[in-house]
Each structure stands twice: as structure tokens, then as C-alpha cells.
Amino acid sequence: MASIARSSLLRQAASTTKFSAATRPAFQQTSIANAVRATAFHTTARRDLLPPLPQRVEGTVNDASPVPPTSPSHGSYHWTFDRLVAGSLIPLTVVPFAAGSLNPTLDAILCATILIHSHTGFQNIIIDYVPAYRTPRARKLFMWGLNAATVVVGLALYEFETTDVGITETIKRIWTA
């Protein structure tokens, strides 16, 4: 069975091969030779679903991974602050359902809290998926991009809160439209 399949493959190869081995570029020759040699050992196809991000070796290869300097403001304080912000969103979310809407001050506080919550949430996502030790420049770019976006959104929310009817009232009007 296999020999039948192979002979037809060879015939096909003979009819479609355009270049002889000597006219191929050098890099093709070496890569083909390597591939042929490696093919015998491969029984499964490689699937690069999530190719690893670029890596660097710090020091020598046998050194342990460097532990980043600890800092409570990037650690436990930050974590607690995140939870406080998230927790304070609970009453701000429940009140408009109970009272029908929010007064401008509470609405502005809700906007600001959501903005902080979104900003730190996006920060967490960037920290998780754009690691600084692998892609330091992309990390910096994303972080500063996020900062810029948050400033723009903050400005827009200020504009919206001061010239329009406020976020809860807007949602209410759209919902009942």
C-alpha cells in the first residue's frame, strides 16, 4: 500500500520538479537536507497554536530566574485597592436600580470609579499577556497607550457628564426607548 502511494508521489514529483538540486539556493539545500533528516523522527505534526514570545537568557543558562524587587504598592496595596474599587461599585450599581437614577454627583463618582476599574483591569490584562521580561518595548507601548486612552476617556466622560444627562440616565432612556 505504502509503496503504491510512494511511487505515484515520485512520479508526480518527477513531473513537477522545476529545479535540480544544484540550482537551488544554498539555504534551501541545507534546510531540505535538515528537514529530510528530521522527518524520520517526527511522527506528529507540529502545531504552533501559541508560539512563545521572544526570550532572553539573563546571566548564564543555569542561573535561576531573577525575582523582581518586591514593592507593596505594586503588590498587596495595589491588590487591595483594586478590590476596594470593585467593592465600591456594588452600591453604585445597585442604587440606580432601586432609585431609578442617580444624582449628578453620584453619577460622576460612578463614572470615575468605572474608569479606574477599567484602567486597572486593562493594566492587569497587559501585565498578563505582554510580559515585560519578554517584550519590554511592547509592554511600555501598551501601558503608555492605555494611559493616554484613559486620559482621553476621562476627558470624554467629564464632557458627557457636564453637557449631557449622565451615564445612568442615558442608559435608562436608551433601555426604555
Task: Summarize as ranges the residues that interact with other proteins (CB under 8 A).
Answer: 2, 5-6, 9-10, 12-14, 16-17, 21, 32-46, 49-52, 54-57, 60-61, 83, 86-87, 89-90, 93, 114, 117-118, 121-122, 125, 149, 152-153, 155-157, 159-160, 164-165, 169-170, 173-175, 177
Cα 53 to Cα 49: distance, rounded to the nearest angstrom: 12
- Whole-angstrom CA distances from 124 to 150, 164, 169, 176 are 14, 31, 30, 35
Minimum CB separation of residue 132 from other proteins in Å reads 17
Grid-cell match 490584562, residue found:
125
Cα 97 to Cα 92: distance, rounded to the nearest angstrom: 9
74 is in an annotated binding site: no
Cα 92 to Cα 94: distance, rounded to the nearest angstrom: 6
Minimum CB separation of residue 94 from other proteins in Å reads 9
Nearest to 146 by CA among 119, 172, 170: 119
Helix (H) / strand (E) containing 83: helix 76-99
Minimum CB separation of residue 56 from other proteins in Å reads 7
Q: Which is nearer to other proteins, 48 or 69 (CB)?
A: 48
Q: Which is nearer to other proteins, 46 or 137 (CB)?
A: 46
117 is in an annotated binding site: yes
Cα 137 to Cα 76: distance, rounded to the nearest angstrom: 26
Nearest to 153 by CA among 106, 127, 120, 119: 119
Minimum CB separation of residue 119 from other proteins in Å reads 8
Q: Which is nearer to other proteins, 39 or 70 (CB)?
A: 39
Q: Which is nearer to other proteins, 2 or 64 (CB)?
A: 2
Known binding-site residues for a ubiquinone equal 129
Known binding-site residues equal 117, 129
Known binding-site residues for heme b equal 117
